[in-house]
Structure 1
Amino acid sequence: MLFRVVPCAAAVLLLLALCNPVAIEAKRSFINPYPRFKAIPVQADEDVGEPLFLTPFIANKSIDEGRKAARVSHSAIPADIESYSGYLTVDAATNSNLFFWYFAAKLNPNAPVVLWLQGGPGASSLYGLFTENGPFAVQNDMKLQTRKYSWHLNHHLLYIDNPVGTGFSFTDKEEGYSTNETHVGANLHNALQQFFTLFPELQQHPFFVTGESYGGKYVPAVAHTIHRNNGNARVKVNLQGLAIGNGLCDPFHQLVYGDYLYQLGLIDGRTRDQFHEYEAKGRDCITKKDFQCAFDVFDELINGDQYPSGSLFKNASGFTSYFNYLQTVPDAGDEYMGKFLQLPETRRAIHVGNNSFHDLDGENKVEDHLKLDVMQSVLPYLNELLNAYRVVIYNGQLDIIVAYPLTMNYVTRLSFPGAADYKKAPRYIWRVDGEIAGYAKEAGNLVEVLVRNAGHMVPKDRPKWALDLLMRLTHGVPIVAPHVDILLIIDRRRMGDSAGNGHDTRVWIELVPPEQGRRDAGGSGPMLHVRPEAKDTVAPGKHVSMIWQMKYWVDC
């Protein structure tokens, strides 16, 4: 049993410390793995523009006018980064609006479309944009630094603040907030149909849903909604696959922290026993469908978002962060994006006006409304989706809150064609540019991956490897194929001719079977085939160590 420590005599404190294995701090834990930003009030003399609602443009078929209005122009954003942002109304009765920021693919207009959804619940997807996989990151001087392995280089990249009430998304009424994944999926599907109406040239492109953390609920929810409703939808979404990183998908089987933390040395045997008691109680609550009880247990055990005295994990370990067991505190640099987003020029550029940014320090109404959803499973969604789409489930090796063993505890229980093959499938070493990036198994439509040296936010910790993984999903290349490196053409390295002389050139890269091209030094498997634009610049068939862009002309 846990006790809340209140101000009292030193003798009483000592007695509590002796009786209870873990001393509890008398303050709010609030170790949600996303930063809570301080609000910066908009001053009366600041020009922040007006919120841009694009649904009326779509309804009036004023597509060109709407796109022109949505174009983002900001002095800090490089001119060669094409992006659009604004609001899509998903429920007029409650004035519920989802904010999006879309980045056009830089290297290839025919690239796949990728949707990124953050977790929380209540965390803005702009966190992923600025700290994980978007075109740029915010520095402490509020300047932007371009990201070398941005996903927009070879994908049309869409971020949506989801659900309603997250980030810049908002609703005017309490009933506008989502309380379950059915509502989340319906709102996202509505927004996507509007998005593809606004950008009709993307409608036929392959579409992939990606996300992490509590996005492990959102990603299957919207994919399942598309799957079930696409036939009768006013705008078809060309869904081809999904990727979930460190996702909370099946809490009943993922509520197994005690042994893992003990094996890491972060708790002792007595605290492990406490964890086991909590975990058993949590599973019992789920079995009884008492999801409020289950949430409370999870929150007191490790989540710590709303439990006032600090989670058992926090008080036992001292950690104020739970997304990498090598880091005890959150990354202070994550907060820079909160300041940047609230600058008057940024508000004006991304068309949010003086609307509140709901990742600000304070109450999390999104989580409050989703409490009864948190401890429910989306395995039925995943089982159904695995019949029709490629599903990548990846996990950072160093995570705590959704650790690899927790993920595997539900993955091995998935029911889909290929489930039996998965359980006996070999585990392959996944390499990127010669480095061991992780380990993978594949069977049927399922790809399961462990990413080395990464925590909860894999694209942030290992950006090059994360992009390689995404490329394999979106371009249909097996991750388990031995001796195949998909190295993305982003480095823009100088190519060398047969004599070793460097030349700047433009080449066509494609993956070819071994019988059609020279084999690599290992003598097995496919390789990268290079066909130069100027035949005397690079020898055809030369094996280049670069990130691969399938069948695209690129500048190196």
Structure 2
Amino acid sequence: MSPLTECFYLSFFLVIVVRQGLCSPRRAGSEAWDYVEVRPGAHMFWWLYYADSPSAQYKDLPLVMWLQGGPGGSGTGFGNFEEIGPLDRDLQPRKNSWVQAASVLFVDNPVGTGFSYTEKSDRFATNVSTVASDMLVLLQHFFTAKPEFQSIPFYIFSESYGGKMAAAIAMELTKAAAQGSVKCRFAGVALGDSWISPLDSVMTWGPYLYSTSLLDDYGLSDVTSAAEKVKQAVEKEDFLKATELWSMTETVVEQDTNGVNFYNILTQQPDEKLTSAEGENFIALQARRHVRPLNRQSLSELMNGPIRRKLAVVPENVTWGGQAEAVFSYMAGDFMKPVVDVVDQLLAAGVNVTVYNGQLDLIVDTMGQERWVNQLKWEGLPTFSKLRWTSLDDPASPGVTGAFVKTYKNFAFYWILRAGHMVPSDQGPMALQMLKMITQQD
């Protein structure tokens, strides 16, 4: 970042602080942030934006927690400045920010992600169970520190691997809220392009790419063969091996499609095709594929420069994104495990569950999402399956279909058109409308 650019950023934030009134080192008017030590030596960072609506007070609007993917992607960074926060990466107001319709809580989760950090290597989470228990500690602290949110409808929204974590967190939160150990009004969970059933995603890559003319017959055979090996490892419950074979399958896809972008099939990989470097293991390769794009250099400069100074609580030895790839590595053994059974438990418990998916996503393609949904044991599935979907106009282009939706009882599915893996980035107006519909706003 150039000195001139950095000076601009600092000047911008000085204006914001002056306008809002700096109430404390951890509060600037319509924002708040802090750390929570969720386990000894494991520190998780959160950042809250109070709803900023011209027609309603924040207490009359829901609270939404956003969970990023990876694992190792930062909600306070990528989700905030690249997707749904009040400002974009250039610190310009975002027209379709979710803060218009809800208070938004970004959490750098699991520990080691973004500004969150661990003091020792044995403090990283290795499975979604630990991720969920860590989050419950954070939420206990949050709702105690912010009692004004205890009676406000609270939703968890997620993206990618964040959805897998969100399902587990939602289940534990349901229990905790019922017991009173977390004082909140939990209203539902939304799973966006989520890694709920990894095998169903991998097994549909070939057919999806073939149907969109991105594979020929030879390519389809190659990808199908590689995916079958992943399936065999999952069936043997050798999940670390399955993660390695998943990595190999992605390499086959890249080679046979000439570098299709896993996050949007209409584009190619933004960088050079990621073949494994000599001596590099599959975990390092996958971290480069799926974690580094969420920690891109321009975003890192913003977060480690003016944002860090604005927050004024980040320890000197902590770098935003500095432990991101380690987060991914420690979760590798849990990566390919499905959590479809957790979604079933949520539905049976009466929790409102929404699945939404971008039409152009590959890594979590819609075909794979529909496949695991059709395997649910939820008693409402037979009726849900017989329903026709309803078209939704694109708010940015009236008269043009922007999505389809189907809802029955406490389950909903949104098919978002012309969007890839990051739905709010690709179709901001449609994503904002979906948020309002899910949170039952007119």
TM-score using structure 1 length: 0.67
Whole-angstrom CA distance in 2 between matches of 1:121 and 1:86: 21
Separation of aligned partners in 1, 2:319 and 2:258? 30
Q: Distance in 2 between matches of 1:163 and 1:233?
A: 24
CA separation of 1:363/1:182 partners in 2, compared to 1, >3 Å: closer, same or farther?
Answer: closer
Q: Secondary structure at the match of 1:168?
A: coil
Cα deviation for residue 318 of structure 1 reads 2.8
Distance 1:99 1:122 in 2: 13
- Counterpart-to-counterpart distance in 2, 1:180 and 1:467: 31
User: Counterpart of 2:378?
Assistant: 416
Tell me which residue corresponds to 1:4.
none
From 87, 92, 115, the equivalent of 2:65 is: 115
Q: Is the 8 A contact 2:72 2:324 kept in 1?
A: no
Picking from 206, 210, 215, the partner of 2:162 is 215
- Whole-angstrom CA distance in 1 between matches of 2:223 and 2:320: 32
Look up the equivalent residue of 1:325 and give its one-letter code.
I
Cα distance in 2, alignment partners of residues 282 and 393 from structure 1: 24
User: How far does the alpha carbon of each residue in 1:426-471 deviate from its partner, in whole angstroms, 9 at most, with x for none?
Assistant: 1111224433111111222111111011110000011111011011
Cα 1:363–1:474 change in 2 (3 A) is: closer
Matched, 1:316 2:267: no
Q: Is the 8 A contact 1:168 1:355 kept in 2?
A: no
Give the structure 2 partner of residue 366 of structure 1.
327
8 A Cα contact 1:129 1:159, kept in partner: yes
Contact 1:177–1:369 (8 Å) recurs in 2: yes
- Distance in 2, Cα, partners of 1:379 & 1:446: 14
Matched position secondary structure for 1:386: helix
Unaligned runs of at least 5 residues, structure 1: 1-37, 39-46, 48-65, 73-80, 303-310, 476-548, 551-556
The CA deviation at 1:330 is: 3.5
**1:327 maps onto 2:267 in alignment:** yes
The runs of 5 or more residues in structure 2 that have no matched partner are 2-9, 11-21, 272-292
- Of 228-237 and 408-417, more deviation after overlay is shown by 228-237
Corresponding residue for 1:131? 82
Contact preservation (8 Å) 1:134, 1:151? yes
Separation in structure 2 between the aligned mates of residue 363 and residue 448 of structure 1, nearest angstrom: 31
Distance 1:418 1:355, change over 3 A: farther
Q: Aligned partners of 1:225, 1:89: CA distance in 2, in Å?
A: 19
Residue 264 (1) aligns with residue 229 (2): no
Contact 1:102 1:157 in 2 (8 A): yes
Q: Retained in 2: the 8 A contact 1:320–1:330?
A: no
Residue 357 (structure 1) aligned to one of 319, 328, 336? 319
Q: Give the superposition deviation at 1:173.
A: 1.9
Equivalent residue number for residue 545 of structure 1: none
State the distance in 2 between where 1:444 and 1:417 align: 10
- Deviation digits for residues 82-127 of structure 1, max 9, x if unmatched? 11122111012xx101111110011222211100000001111120
In the alignment, is residue 299 of structure 1 matched against residue 227 of structure 2? Answer: no
Residue 58 of structure 2 aligns with an amino acid whose one-letter code is: P
> Matched residues in 1 for 2:166 and 2:67: separation?
7
Instruction: Note if contact 1:196-1:202 (Cα within 8 Å) is conserved in structure 2.
Output: yes
* Distance in 2 of aligned mates of 1:458 and 1:247: 11
Determine the C-alpha separation between the residues in 1 that align with 2:101 and 2:42.
32
One-letter identity of the residue aligned with 1:336:
S
Of structures 1 and 2, the larger Rg is shown by: 1
Identify the match of residue 144 of structure 2 among 180, 191, 197. Answer: 197
Tell me, what secondary structure is at the counterpart of 1:137? coil
> Residue 212 of structure 1 contacts residue 245 of structure 1 at CA under 8 Å; is this kept in 2?
yes
The residue number in structure 1 matching 2:173 is 226
Q: Work out whether 1:397 is the aligned partner of 2:374.
A: no
Q: 2:50 maps to which residue?
A: 104
2:433 aligned partner: 468
- How far apart, in 2, do the equivalents of 1:161 and 1:238 lie? 22
| 1:146 match: secondary structure | coil
Tell me: higher relative CO, structure 1 or 2? Use CA pairs within 8 A at least 6 residues apart.
Answer: 2
Secondary structure class of the residue paired with 2:24: helix
Matching residue's letter, 1:368: S
Q: Is the 8 A contact 1:258 1:272 kept in 2?
A: yes
* Distance across 1 between alignment mates of 2:27 and 2:261: 37
Contact 2:177 2:186 in 1 (8 A): no
Deviation at 1:253, TM superposition (A): 2.2
Deviation of the 1:156 alpha carbon: 0.9
1:282-306, CA deviations, whole angstroms, 9 ceiling, x for partnerless residues?
Answer: 111111110011111111111xxxx
Change (3 A) 1:181 1:67: farther
Cα distance in 1 between the residues matched to 2:133 and 2:424: 27
Task: Give the drift of 1:418.
Answer: 1.0
Which residue identity does 2:437 align to in structure 1? R
- 2-structure distance, mates of 1:217, 1:187: 15
Counterpart secondary structure, 1:138: coil
Q: Which amino acid aligns with 1:112?
A: P
Query: Which residue identity does 2:327 align to in structure 1?
Result: V
The superposition leaves residues 203-236 of structure 1 with CA deviations (integer Å, 9 ceiling, x where unpaired) of: 1110000111111211101101111222334332
Whether the aligned pair in 2 keeps the contact of 1:250 and 1:410 (CA below 8 Å) is yes
Amino acid at match of 1:383: D
Q: Are positions 1:444 and 2:390 aligned together?
A: no
Contact (CA 8 Å) 1:396, 1:451: kept in 2 or not? Answer: yes
Partner of 1:282: 230
For residues 107 and 270 of structure 2, what CA distance do their matches in structure 1 show? Answer: 24
The number of residues matched between the two structures is 391
Aligned twin of 2:277 = none
Q: Is contact 1:116-1:209 (8 Å) kept?
A: yes
How far does the alpha carbon of each residue in 1:38-92 deviate from its partner, in whole angstroms, 9 at most, with x for none? 9xxxxxxxx9xxxxxxxxxxxxxxxxxx9833114xxxxxxxx711122111012
Partner of 2:24: 68
Q: Aligned runs of 1:456-535 on 2, under 5 Å?
A: 456-475=421-440
Question: Alignment partner of 2:264: what SS?
Answer: coil
Residue 364 of structure 1 aligns to a residue in which SS? helix
* Counterpart in the other structure of 1:170: 117
Question: Match of 1:483?
Answer: none
The separation in 2 between residues aligned to 1:363 and 1:381, in whole angstroms, is: 26
Supply the RMSD in Å over aligned alpha carbons: 2.3
> Which of 371, 376, 387 in structure 2 is aligned with 1:425?
387
- Contact 1:119 1:215 (C-alpha < 8 Å) held by counterparts: yes
What TM-score results when the alignment is normalised by the length of structure 2? 0.84
Matched letter for residue 282 of structure 1: V
Query: Which of 82, 92, 105 in structure 2 is aligned with 1:158?
Result: 105
